[in-house]
Structure 1
Amino acid sequence: MKAYANRHPGQAKGAPRPWRMLGVTGAWGLCFLAIRLGLQDAPILWFATLRALFAAAALLMVCQIQGRGLPRGRGTWTLIALMGFTNVTVAFAAMFAGTAGMTIGAAAVLANAQPLMIILPAWWLYGESLSSRTVLAVSIGFAGLLAVGLSSGGGSGAGLSLLAAAAVTAGTLLARSLAGTDLVAASAWHFLIGGVLLAVMAAIAEPAPVIHWTPRFLGSLLFLSLVGTAAAFLVWFIEAGRSRLDLLTAWTMLVPVIGTVVSLFLPAEQPPPFTLAGAALVLVSLWMVHHRPGSRTAGTKDSDASGTTQR
């Protein structure tokens, strides 16, 4: 993978498009509320399975209408299968279970620790610079995550939310290697593969499921599947193929902000002050990663220590 980055020094060195990322992070922030609402009518793993399979069906329909072919090559299919396992099977199962076990705000913060987790792999695999400022930011961020985890009671909910963040991080790293592949088709098939694996897990862990197809559940499922999954992840993969990973994932700092703000309006979801303090530390750390001294905006040219140039 490092050799791949060296062979393609001009690829994926820019900043993500702001309006696209605002849409993605806004959708993901509201997903935690949709998950909490939907879990009142369906078991955890079956709800996660339906999210993945509905998203796959929507994207496969787009492929059919637009005449998009199947991805080609054993290596491409291996990559898509790995993404399905990490980004869908593991991430969705852990995210839904984590959200069921803690407040929306805490789950949103912990499940979106991706910007902190991706910095070292991005440096090692793709040669993206790692400065002392970044190291300090990561340290502050992990202190914030620890505060959120402890204030939420720790335990399985916090651990599962962090596992979801790690799985999405792995999926983002894998997505960087999809250059030259039809991303609509690849996204569709990775959701289908991951959803089928989730269905197997659900059949074992949650046999004879009872799902109440209420308007509340249908609304939550359709939002999660079409907006928060099919559309949002497709845009995310497109931006992962052209952007610095630290600048890309720093945008997800808005996800826990939205999740925490939403939780303030729900009677049973009021986060304790320690959670808010931890969330603030996470946001400070992510701002430090995203804001580079000497650069007016994330989109201006900025030469880093490795000699690469952002645009």
Structure 2
Amino acid sequence: MLQRRLPPPVQYVLLLLSPFFFWGTAMVALKGVVPHTTPFFMAAIRLLPAGGLILVAAALSGRPQPRGLKAWSWIALFAIVDGTLFQGFLALGLQDTGAGLGSVLIDSQPLLVALLSAWFFGEYIGLWGGLGLLLGLIGISAIGLPEHWLMALLTLDSTLSSPTSSVTMGQSLSLGEGMMLLASLAMALGTVMMPKVSQHVDPVVATGWHAILGAIPLFGLSWGWETQPWQDLTLSDWGALAYATVFGTAIAYGLFFNFAAQGNLTSLSSLTFFTPVFALLFGYWLLGEILTPVQMAGATLTLGSVYLIERRQKLPRLSWPGSREQVTPSSSPSSPRGETPISPSSGPPAASR
């Protein structure tokens, strides 16, 4: 039915955006569960069933299981970084981080992915990509940071440098925000690792096993440090956990890392800027939260940043200030190492057709 109503490029755009929609809405769902449970249990109970669902789907589609020590070694490393560390830091950060600021911090990882991908894989960023990343950072900051901070920064308010202000900001940027930044770093490392992991094992299968193996240390931490974390969970809490497990983890992770294994990491990761936008829209539609003019401007900048990063190889290639390089639009290079940039015009990866 979907194929009859929507052209293939539109279907691909919806598929490409779906992980970020699920992540944004799952954050809202999990926020309501936080007061009734503990962080390590919440992270583990989200990962383990999701990994099982992904492996069942992989088996039904005939995807091969890992073979050899090298394949399992990469899966184990991937599980520690993007399973245990990412989900653990994320759950810890949710304990005392506001939804807006938390989204800003954790969704800063495209900046790290772009830098790491350029370093390890030689992915092209260019002036347009750099401008897009900067606009994205400004946009998500406008969405999530307190407006009085933004106004003070724009007006160069001297009170920001006063001892009292430093103490207040230091108290605000405390343990929760630090955990979110560590989660962002872990996700960025996991994203950059996926092309290497996919050389030894199917990316969807690797995603399933990484969720299961990554949940084991989290269950161990929960057993050792937390006491009956399930006893205060309500029926709606279990429903929120189920949504975060099935849609926010199993489906979102499977799609994201399948794209990451086959496409341009900088382009794909830039779409993470959509996550706080989806979270805010979801909160507005269902919870009656109002977007301020500053947040609307931030959402607009975020969308513009994604366009610039996605189209950076098709826009006229401008040289950096001071450079003598002269390149016309027609000579814009293709993605390095034969990678296909992830954009609506490029169509889905071959394995997804």
Smaller-chain TM-score bracket: 0.7 to 0.9
- Over residues 135-191 of structure 1, what are the superposed CA-to-partner deviations in whole Å (9 max), with x where a residue is unaligned? 344445455666746759322222222221111111111111113523332222111
Instruction: Please identify, of 203-212 and 141-150, the stretch whose mean Cα deviation from structure 2 is larger.
Output: 141-150
How many Å apart are 1:302 and its aligned residue? 7.7
Q: Alpha carbons of 1:167 and 1:303: their partners in 2 closer, same or farther (altered >3 Å)?
A: farther
Please tell me the residue identity of whatever aligns with 2:268.
L
Please tell me the residue identity of whatever aligns with 2:183.
A
Structure 1: which 5+ runs fail to align? 1-15
Q: Which residue of 2 aligns with 1:290?
A: 310
2:231 partner SS: coil
Please tell me the residue identity of whatever aligns with 1:155.
S
- Count of equivalent residues: 292
Q: Which residue of 2 aligns with 1:37?
A: 32
Q: Which residue of 2 aligns with 1:212?
A: 232
Give the Cα–Cα distance (whole angstroms) in 1 for the partners of residues 133 and 63 of structure 2: 41
Give the Cα–Cα distance (whole angstroms) in 1 for the partners of residues 266 and 58 of structure 2: 31
Q: Alpha carbons of 1:37 and 1:175: their partners in 2 closer, same or farther (altered >3 Å)?
A: same
**Match 1:159 to one of 178, 189, 194:** 178
Give the Cα–Cα distance (whole angstroms) in 1 for the partners of residues 294 and 309 of structure 2: 23
1:71 partner SS: coil
**Do 1:104 and 1:269's aligned partners in 2 also have CA atoms closer than 8 Å?**
no
Please tell me the residue identity of whatever aligns with 1:127.
G
Are 2:20 and 1:28 aligned?
no
**Match 1:184 to one of 186, 192, 204:** 204
**Do 2:29 and 2:240's aligned partners in 1 also have CA atoms closer than 8 Å?**
yes
**Do 2:274 and 2:302's aligned partners in 1 also have CA atoms closer than 8 Å?**
no
Please tell me the residue identity of whatever aligns with 2:21.
G
**Match 2:93 to one of 90, 98, 117:** 98
Give the Cα–Cα distance (whole angstroms) in 1 for the partners of residues 61 and 265 of structure 2: 30
Give the Cα–Cα distance (whole angstroms) in 1 for the partners of residues 235 and 227 of structure 2: 24
**Match 1:193 to one of 200, 205, 213:** 213
1:40 partner SS: helix
Give the Cα–Cα distance (whole angstroms) in 1 for the partners of residues 93 and 289 of structure 2: 14
**Do 1:60 and 1:185's aligned partners in 2 also have CA atoms closer than 8 Å?**
yes
- The CA RMSD over aligned residues, in Å, is 3.3
Q: Which residue of 2 aligns with 1:234?
A: 254
How many Å apart are 1:305 and its aligned residue? 4.7
**Do 1:144 and 1:282's aligned partners in 2 also have CA atoms closer than 8 Å?**
yes
Q: Which residue of 2 aligns with 1:47?
A: 42
1:241 partner SS: helix
2:262 partner SS: coil
**Do 2:47 and 2:214's aligned partners in 1 also have CA atoms closer than 8 Å?**
yes
Structure 2: which 5+ runs fail to align? 1-10, 150-168, 317-328, 347-353
Instruction: Please identify, of 164-173 and 205-214, the stretch whose mean Cα deviation from structure 2 is larger.
Output: 205-214
Q: Which residue of 2 aligns with 1:169?
A: 188
Q: Which residue of 2 aligns with 1:75?
A: 70
2:65 partner SS: coil
Q: Which residue of 2 aligns with 1:115?
A: 110
Instruction: Please identify, of 118-127 and 254-263, the stretch whose mean Cα deviation from structure 2 is larger.
Output: 254-263
How many Å apart are 1:216 and its aligned residue? 0.8
Q: Which residue of 1 aligns with 2:128?
A: 133
Give the Cα–Cα distance (whole angstroms) in 2 for the partners of residues 102 and 53 of structure 1: 25
Q: Which residue of 1 aligns with 2:157?
A: none
Give the Cα–Cα distance (whole angstroms) in 2 for the partners of residues 200 and 268 of structure 1: 39
**Do 2:284 and 2:291's aligned partners in 1 also have CA atoms closer than 8 Å?**
yes
User: What is the percentage of aligned positions where both structures have the same residue?
Assistant: 27
